[in-house]
Structure formats: structure tokens, C-alpha cells
Structure 1
Amino acid sequence: MVALRKLQFEADDGTAGFRAQLAEQRWDDHRFYHHSLINQSLHFISACTFLTAYVLLFTDPALASLLAWGVAMTSRQAGHFFFEPKGYDVENQVTQEYKEDVKVGYNLFRKYVLMSLWMAIPVVLAVSPTLLGTIPAPDGFVGYLRHVGYAWLVFGVVALLFRVLQLWMQRDFETGIVWATKIVTDPFNDFRLYKSAPAKLMKGQRFDQPRH
């Protein structure tokens, strides 16, 4: 009985630790990278699109991937690349270089690499529609788009697993799993966090109020 209680305690403690890490990663992502209300609004659009893609994933994976990468990811990353301030973060008292260095997931440099590879996939499939005979020839332009969708889906899974492996080697396995959980559940969390951002933006407010 004592041993059983000890195992239960350790399990509960592990769950609490996982939740604490997840909450910390979410909070750091929010306070460091989402000051701009344009960025928050684009994340809200991204979240809605991702949630739609999650539903479509069970019936039409290619279309779900096209929506996820073509709309959700582009709007999401555009907010970071073009609208989020890159200077000294007065609210958090840290530099942009510090934020880039401590970012658990894909910081801006890693995102540039990620998005460059993502954009290269349609070009490769346009040049070699069958990937040198490894896949069937697409049936017209719609078939080409579906091939792109499937390729983007595989690319997304590989990118997720690759970063988990990196974090496992650099830190520990749990950090990678926590980050992967955060990424998969981000659309739900972003919908909740940023659903009021478009209304604030239309009222003329450009940046979120200080968050404590």
C-alpha cells in the first residue's frame, strides 16, 4: 500500500511538472512574442484556420495541410516577421538577442530556415512532379496542389519531430514533449488568448497593454 501511494505521488508530481513546464512555455511565448495587436489578430485568424484544418485532417489531409500551411502558418509567421517589435523589450527588460537565444521552439532564425524549406517544396514538385519517379504523376493542377498538400503535411511532422529530437539532445526529453504539446494545442490557446485582439485593433490600439 505504501509503495502504491509512493508511485501515485510520483505520477501526480510528474503530471504537475509537465503542466508547469507547459504553462511556462506558453507564458514566455505570449509575453515575449505577442505585443503587437496586428500579430495577435493574425494569430487569431491562424488559430481559426488551424482548428478548421484539424477537423479536415480526418477526411481530407491534403486540403487540411494546404489550409494549415497556406493560410494559418503564413498569417501566423507574417505577424512575427513584419509586425512584432524587434527592439529592446521594455516590458520584460530583455533584448531581442536574449529572447532569440532562450526561445525553446523555432526562433526567428529557425523560422527563416523552416519557411524557406516550406516554400521550396512547391518549386521542387513543379520541376519534378513525380520526384524522379517516386510518386505518381499529378492529375492536372488540382493534383499538383494535392501533392503539395501531402508534402507539406509530411514536412510539418518531420519539422516537429526534428525539433523534439534537438531539444532532447540539448536539454531533456520532457522539454521536447512539452514543446510539441504546446505546438499542437496552440490553436486552442491562441483562440482563447487573442479573440479580442481584432476588436482592440479596430478601436485604434496598436499594442497590448502591459501583462503581468
Structure 2
Amino acid sequence: MPAIRKLRFEDEQGNPGFRAQLAEQRWDDHRFYHHDLVNQSLHFVSACTFMTAYALLFVDVALASLLAWGVAMTSRQAGHFFFEPKGYDHENDVTNEYKEEVKVGYNLMRKYVLMGLWLAVPAVLAAQPTLFGMLDEPAGTMGFLRHVGFGWLLLGVGAIVLRVTQLWIQRDLETGIVWATKIVTDPFTDFRLYRTAPVKLLKGQRSDHHAAV
């Protein structure tokens, strides 16, 4: 197994500062986990949806959360689960197991747990619409969906806080904050990186050979 290499990005003083670490995490995520153009296209759809959800946060938090989790998150993770190759990565000369081990954020196993909890939220609320008296009785289907939206929002915030805490314990707080910053800004990065992926896919391409970003 190859050793974890030194940071490829450095600040003006030659140190791996905040911006350098952010660039490094973004580059590793791109080169390790976005070879397939279907995956990239789904990330483009996800990015557009997430940016719409961000704007909706100032208008309707529950609706924004439903859009983010129901469309943006599902399309994003479907690309990783079903289309991204999981064999030996010849381009980067590493195994998939190595990539999963050194992944800063949520690797596939953590994502399976996260998406399981995502499915559990509506299931629990369907069985206990008031969550044992903690919530008001939902007014019809839309009331139920709004409860689900708020539940998914709490799940998303909790998932970020949990992983930042884990990285703080395992490495250092700055790594966790850098990762959280990457996650929040991923829609804008993905929009820039993968906006041409649908066109490439329609032209018959299936994989993308990464260029430096």
C-alpha cells in the first residue's frame, strides 16, 4: 500500500495552510472518486439542485432540506454507489481499499450508514408523527413532509458535526474545519468541474482522464 503523500498544495510560505489543505482535499476527491462521466453528470445535477436549495434556505428551510436530500443528495450518492468504478485505480496507482481508508470525509461504508439514517427519518415519523409528543401533529401530507425536511436538516448538520469531531480527535481540528468547508462549498466546485460532463456523456464518452484543477 502506498504511503500517504505530502500535500501537493502549499501556501506562499511553503506551509500546508487552510487554503492549501482545502485545495488538496478537493483535488483528492476529484481524482480518486470522479472518473465516471455518469457520476460527474449526476454531480452536476446535484450541484445545481444544492445551489437552489441554498437559496431556498432563506425562504423555506423545510422545502430546501427536502430538495437537498430528496434530489441533490440522492443523485450525488447514486453516482458513487452505482457508477463509479471500484477496482484498481491505474490512473492514481492505488487500490480502492486504500482510497477508502485514507478518505477524509465519508467513505462508502460511512455513506451507507448515513443513507440508512436518511431512510430511517421518514420511517420513524410515519410510525410516530409527533415523535412521542415532541412535535405538533402534522397537517396532512405536506405537514408530514415538512417534519421530514426538518429531520433531514438535523441529520445533515449532525453528520457534519460528527465527522468534524472525529477528525479533530483522529487528526486535528483544522482538518475537520477544512473538510466541513469543502462539503458546504462542494456544489459550487462541482458545478465548475462537471458542467461539461453531460455533453461528453452524450458524445459517447464514459470515463474522464483528470486534468489538474
Q: Deviations over 1:29-84 (max 9, x none)?
A: 00000000000000000000000000000110000000000000000000000000
SS in 2 for 1:208: coil
Question: Percent identity between the aligned chains?
Answer: 74
Structure 1 partner of 2:150: 150
SS in 1 for 2:43: helix
Structure 1 partner of 2:182: 182
Q: Deviations over 1:93-114 (max 9, x none)?
A: 0000000000000000000000
Measure, in 2, the Cα distance between the counterparts of 1:83 and 1:16: 33
Measure, in 2, the Cα distance between the counterparts of 1:66 and 1:200: 30
Measure, in 1, the Cα distance between the counterparts of 2:167 and 2:206: 34
Q: Deviations over 1:84-137 (max 9, x none)?
A: 000000000000000000000000000000000010000000000000101101
Structure 1 partner of 2:21: 21
Measure, in 2, the Cα distance between the counterparts of 1:61 and 1:103: 30
TM, length-normalised to structure 2: 0.92
Q: Give 1:210 shift.
A: 4.2
Structure 1 partner of 2:4: none
Structure 1 partner of 2:172: 172
Structure 1 partner of 2:33: 33
Letter paired with 1:131: L
Q: Which has the larger radius of gyration?
A: 1
Unpaired runs of at least 5, structure 2: 1-11
- How many residue pairs are counted as aligned between the two chains? 201
Q: Deviations over 1:173-210 (max 9, x none)?
A: 00000000000000000000000000000000000024
Measure, in 1, the Cα distance between the counterparts of 2:75 and 2:106: 16
Measure, in 2, the Cα distance between the counterparts of 1:44 and 1:15: 32
Q: Deviations over 1:17-39 (max 9, x none)?
A: 00000000000000000000000
Pairwise CA RMSD of aligned residues?
1.4
**Structure with the largest fraction of helix:** 1
Measure, in 2, the Cα distance between the counterparts of 1:13 and 1:61: 42
TM, length-normalised to structure 1: 0.92
